[in-house]
């Protein structure tokens, strides 16, 4: 049973700055702020934060796996176990994702993951992200599973997910993409451009169809080759950065994206960038080899990335708190700027900004207690209830 809480002796990360105020939590939502030393009420439980930082819960919109599970395998209990582990990483919400898969197996995976989302008991599993199968550049996905988008495909995906399909990544230059996008958008699905060879000057037209975001900017969207004459060619990543209303996802490990680009992205308006781990099986666990799809084996290396036997990248081994730390160290972002990228922008991309993404009155009390020096996760709260606490160092 939740009780009213008043957190004191904390620094509070909000979208507009860091506040030195007490935080009031009523039931499962933030109620407001109070000046330090302002008299309280017996109805409120006083909590001394011991100088900690209160940070909005991290929201990860793209992760193919975490800990010991690959979501595309649709193993029983995978989403719930991952949701429990994610609490230790400061994540309070996520979208379990899967790669290019052919029907009917695709619909089976969608249905299974959607059902598992509703049973997650740790971080909130908000819904499913289907990365594919309508790609141009397969990247590390199975090229045999790529198909053209269509209204029947959109309707089949929506039916299988039963209201839990929240994100789809596709290459909008494929035939049938406009109708596919518009049908999904009509049902509240967030559309992300990715794995694409789209011509950069076509991007404004694609955005007009309803594209909200770009999946892992600079990855699987090849730049134009240098054509001489001293002119930098206008490429797909450039075109996406030029679209003010498109948020760009970043795999912030310094491997998928050069640290120089991370510094560049960290200087964009704070509405433009969100961190997505694109994590794979064994992220946050151990170094281990596994099969991403039949015949394609890869190896996850903690603190590095996931590579195939030829050195090709196949997602990351990032945890959400590691991505947060990298955005600060590699990108030079402060805690406030970082909170937009980890929490508020992802909430906005999927239409959940009214309920989550920042510490603000009326929003769900999903937050992380960080060490004020190292920014390590001390505790994670969901709806005002402590769900994880780190042990002694």
pLDDT of residue 2: 58
| DSSP-based helix, strand, coil % in the chain, nearest 5 | 25, 25, 45
pLDDT in tens, 336-386: 999 999 999 999 999 999 999 999 999 999 999 999 999 999 999 999 999
Residue 260 sits in the same domain as residue 379: no
Query: Taken in order 159, 75, 124, 97, is the CA torsion positive or negative?
Result: negative
Residue 18 sits in the same domain as residue 148: no
Residue 164 sits in the same domain as residue 310: yes
Residue 329 sits in the same domain as residue 379: no
Query: pLDDT at residue 269 above 50?
Result: yes
Confidence of residue 38 (pLDDT cuts 50, 70, 90): confident
Residue 70 sits in the same domain as residue 202: yes
pLDDT of residue 42: 75
Q: What percent of the chain has a predicted confidence (pLDDT) above 70? A: 99
What is the CATH classification number for the domain harbouring 142? 3.20.20.140
Confidence of residue 229 (pLDDT cuts 50, 70, 90): confident
Residue 290 sits in the same domain as residue 368: no
Q: For the chain, what is the domain count?
A: 2
Residue 29 sits in the same domain as residue 142: no
Q: For residues 349 and 211, what is the distance between their CA atoms, to the nearest angstrom?
A: 10
pLDDT in tens, 288-333: 999 999 999 999 999 899 999 999 999 999 999 999 999 999 999 9
387 preceded by cis ω (within 30°)? no
Residue 77 sits in the same domain as residue 32: no
Residue 104 sits in the same domain as residue 13: no
pLDDT of residue 1: 46
Confidence of residue 80 (pLDDT cuts 50, 70, 90): very high
What is the CATH classification number for the domain harbouring 15? 2.30.40.10
Rounded to the nearest integer, the mean pLDDT of the chain is 95
Residue 20 sits in the same domain as residue 119: no
Instruction: Decide: 23 and 48 in contact? Cβ < 8 Å.
Output: no
pLDDT of residue 393: 57
Instruction: Decide: 46 and 40 in contact? Cβ < 8 Å.
Output: yes
Residue 67 sits in the same domain as residue 85: yes
Q: Would you state the structure tokens that stand for residue 302, as one six-digit string? A: 């903690």
Domain around 373: 5-55+358-389
Residue in 242, 246, 270 with CA at minimum distance from that of residue 343: 270
Query: pLDDT at residue 41 above 80?
Result: no
320 exposure class (CB count in 10 Å sphere: 0-12, 13-18, 19+)? buried
Residue 282 sits in the same domain as residue 319: yes
Task: Work out the average pLDDT over 252-281.
Answer: 97
pLDDT in tens, 120-149: 999 999 999 999 999 999 999 999 999 999
Query: pLDDT at residue 71 above 70?
Result: yes
């Amino acid at each position: 049973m939740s009780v009213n809480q008043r957190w004191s002796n904390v620094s509070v990360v909000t979208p507009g700055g860091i506040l030195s105020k007490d935080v009031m939590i009523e039931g499962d939502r933030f109620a407001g702020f109070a000046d330090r030393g302002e008299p309280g009420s017996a109805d409120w439980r006083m909590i001394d934060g011991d100088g900690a930082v209160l940070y909005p819960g991290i929201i990860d919109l793209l992760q193919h796996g975490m800990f010991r599970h690959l979501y595309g395998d649709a193993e029983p209990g995978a989403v719930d176990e991952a949701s429990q582990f994610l609490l230790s990483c400061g994540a309070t919400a996520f979208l379990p994702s899967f790669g290019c898969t052919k029907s009917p197996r695709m619909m089976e995976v969608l249905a299974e993951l959607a059902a598992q989302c509703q049973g997650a008991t740790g971080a909130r599993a908000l819904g499913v992200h289907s990365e594919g199968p309508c790609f141009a550049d397969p990247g590390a996905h199975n090229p045999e599973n790529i198909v053209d988008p269509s209204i029947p495909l959109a309707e089949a995906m929506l039916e299988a997910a039963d209201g839990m399909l929240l994100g789809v990544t596709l290459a909008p230059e494929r035939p049938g993409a406009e109708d596919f996008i518009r049908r999904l958008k009509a049902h509240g699905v967030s559309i992300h451009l990715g794995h694409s060879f789209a011509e950069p000057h076509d991007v404004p037209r694609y955005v007009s169809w309803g594209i909200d975001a770009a999946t892992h900017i600079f990855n699987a969207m090849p730049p134009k080759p240098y054509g001489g004459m001293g002119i930098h060619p206008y490429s797909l990543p450039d075109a996406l950065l030029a679209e003010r209303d498109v948020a760009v996802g970043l795999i912030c490990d310094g491997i998928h994206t050069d640290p120089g680009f991370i510094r560049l992205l960290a200087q964009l308006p704070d509405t433009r960038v969100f961190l997505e781990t694109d994590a794979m099986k064994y992220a946050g666990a151990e170094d281990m080899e596994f099969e991403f799809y039949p015949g394609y084996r890869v190896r996850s290396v903690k603190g590095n990335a996931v590579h195939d036997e030829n050195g090709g990248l196949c997602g990351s081994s990032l945890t959400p708190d590691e991505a947060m730390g990298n955005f600060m160290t590699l990108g030079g972002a402060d805690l406030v700027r970082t909170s937009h990228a980890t929490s508020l922008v992802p909430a906005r991309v999927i239409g959940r900004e009214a309920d989550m993404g920042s510490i603000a009155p009326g929003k769900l009390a999903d937050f992380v207690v960080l060490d004020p020096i190292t920014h390590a996760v001390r505790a994670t709260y969901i709806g005002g209830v402590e769900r994880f606490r780190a042990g002694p160092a």
